[in-house]
Amino acid sequence: MNDNSTRDRIRALVRDVLDKALPDEANAGASSGDTASRFIDTAPKSPNTTTEGATTRDESSKTVITEDDVRDLERGAVLRIAEGARLTPLAADIVSEKGIEIVRRVPRRGSQASKMIAVGADHGGFKMKEELKSLLNELGHQVHDFGTNSEEAVDYPDFAYAVANSVAEGASDVGIMIDGAGVGSAMTANKVPGVRAAACYSVKLARNSREHNDANVLTLGSGTITTSEMREIVRAWLSTEISEERHRKRVEKIKAVERQYLR
């Protein structure tokens, strides 16, 4: 049996293990003896700053990083993963061989309940943004305000990009952008690699965008919702997380489509 055949069998085995066992193992954590033998609990140490100009990929929504997540990364790339994420042995080998830098995303203040939130608005959303900032402070979140700072006419793409870029670079956990309708800002934000922006007009949509699509930027339309509705939508959006593996797999397909245009 040649090396290629052996490698293919190993890859198939890893995929089979993930498909059949991952949900239970993710809940069981480190208490399972089998888990310790299948996964690498630590990633290669990385410096405090990333390599300038290196390609960055965000896989922080995953609990396990597989060979498929890293094999097409270029040498010296940066891979962002969750604090407690584990690497399969094959993934760890590729990371080591290519000198890929691992950056673990640690929740701020030690709790996922507290987030650094990038906010922005155009002139139409300025007043609602100020109300939003008060709400976020009430909820105990940190706020990075990218403007605008008045009702003087401005262009929404400038501020939507600033918010989205902050999220993509990892400087903010999530972002919220407000313009007149929320649609144009969502279009702009979604041009930034790594961003999944959702324009939401109801609590139901807000929860769905997080639970099913792992949205990391919320866009709102000041002309389509009231301040009271904004508060309800934002509370629901921030308190909902993606959880089921079937949803995570679909989000991975969204990321795969994006990667085709980054090569």
Which residue numbers are catalytic? 212
Nearest to 123 by CA among 145, 154, 146: 154
How many Cβ atoms are within 10 Å of 226's Cβ, its own excluded? 10
Cis bond upstream, residue 35 (ω within 30)? no
